[in-house]
Amino acid sequence: MRQFLSIALVIVYVCAGAFLYMRAMACRLDPSRPIWAADLLHRDLFTPAGLLRRRTTLRFYLLGGVALAAGLWMLAA
C-alpha cells in the first residue's frame, strides 16, 4: 500500500507540474520560440498575464516538492 501511495504522489506531482508548466509556456511573448525548461526562470520572456502563471508554476514546484518529500518521508517511516 505504501509503495502504491508513493508512486501515486510522484505521478500527481509530475502531472500537475507539467500542466502548470504548459499553461505558463502558452503565455510567452514569442510563442513560436521552442520551449525550454529554463525559460521558466526568465521573467522577461512572458506577458504580464504569463508572469502570474509563471510564479504559480514556480511556487508549485518549490512548495509541492517540499510537500512531496515530506509525504514520502512520512510513508517511509
| Burial tier of 21 (Cβ tally within 10 Å: 0-12, 13-18, 19+) | buried
Tell me the pTM: 0.86
Q: What CA–CA distance (Å, rounded) separates 13 from 16?
A: 5
Q: How confident is the model at residue 25 (pLDDT cuts 50, 70, 90)?
A: very high
Answer yes or no: are the C-beta atoms of 56 and 70 closer than 8 Å: no
Answer yes or no: are the C-beta atoms of 50 and 73 closer than 8 Å: no
Model pLDDT for residues 43-58, shown as the tens digit of each residue = 999 999 999 999 999 9
Rg (CA), the chain: 15
